[in-house]
Amino acid sequence: MAALKLAVLISGRGSNLQALIDACAGRDFPATVALVVSNNPQAQGLARAGACGIPTAVIERRDHGDRDAFDQALTEAIGAHDADLVCLAGFMSILGADFVARWRGRLINIHPSLLPEFPGLDTHARVLVAGVRTTGCTVHYVTAEVDAGPVIIQQSVPVEANDTPETLAARVLAAEHQIYPQAVRLIAEDRTT
Ligand code: GAR
């Protein structure tokens, strides 16, 4: 079976992008990163992609009149690289309904909680305020509702008594780096159901 071609969309650090790049470099991993798109020209992840010779594109929301035009520019970049699967990896711009519908079933996201618990931003601070003992991370298909589509894979992570949002984020991030490549493999091997 041909390797899945990934388009990875980022806005910042790109550590999940790095986990995908590293996985794709492994023998027999059924995917390659065909393109990295950032909506932020300063994103550290762009340098990670560049260091590996992966094509990059910067598509800024402010350069496009409305969200449909922004989404269209994203679609054109992704299409130009024949990507089969769009992976949101810390992409902090909400995508329009038309984009989500166009890529439905081929558009996935990673979120730093055990969805449906704690959708949205500032996840780890809210987890600590809620006082739960376990949190985690989720890779899911993207649907029109933010952080709500069908779950592909989750990993739970303990909350420690003296955690700060930063220490908890670091523990969850390590789990994210494990499950994002696993989710891509499940999709590539048609084993998500
Ligand atoms: C990750 O923790 C990811 O789960 C989160 O942003 C971080 C990006 O880090 N995404 C969201 O909160 C989306 N709702 P990275 O740029 O190092 O991969």
Cα of 114 from ligand 1 centre, angstroms: 14
Identified catalytic residue from 111, 124, 140, 177: 111
Report which ligand 1 atom has the smallest distance to the Cα of 111: 4
Report which ligand 1 atom has the smallest distance to the Cα of 120: 14
Cα–Cα distance between 110 and 118 in angstroms, integer?
13
Cα–Cα distance between 19 and 102 in angstroms, integer?
26
Q: Which residues line ligand 1 (CB under 6 A)?
A: 10, 12-16, 89-90, 110-112, 147, 173, 176
Q: Which two tokens stand for residue 132?
A: 């739960």
DSSP symbols for 101-146: HHTTTSEEEEESS-TTSS-SSSHHHHHHHHT-SEEEEEEEE--SST
Q: Kindly report, residue by residue over 35-56, the tens digit of the pLDDT.
A: 999 999 999 999 999 999 999 9
Longest dimension (CA), the chain: 48
Q: Which of 48, 125, 53 is nearest to 89 (CA)?
A: 48
Q: Which pLDDT score is estimated for 2? A: 80
**Which residue has 């409305």 as its token pair?**
66
What are 108's strand-pairing partners? 87, 141
What are 153's strand-pairing partners? 139
Report which ligand 1 atom has the smallest distance to the Cα of 112: 4
Q: Which residues of the chain have pLDDT under 70?
A: 1
Q: Which pLDDT score is estimated for 25? A: 96
Cα–Cα distance between 10 and 13 in angstroms, integer?
8
Q: Are residues 87 and 32 in contact, defined by beta-carbon separation less than 8 angstroms?
A: no
Q: Which pLDDT score is estimated for 1? A: 67
Q: Which two tokens stand for residue 1?
A: 């079976």
Residue bearing the CA closest to ligand 1, atom 2: 112
Q: Kindly report, residue by residue over 144-164, the tens digit of the pLDDT.
A: 999 999 999 999 999 999 999
Q: Which pLDDT score is estimated for 10? A: 98
Q: Which pLDDT score is estimated for 143? A: 96
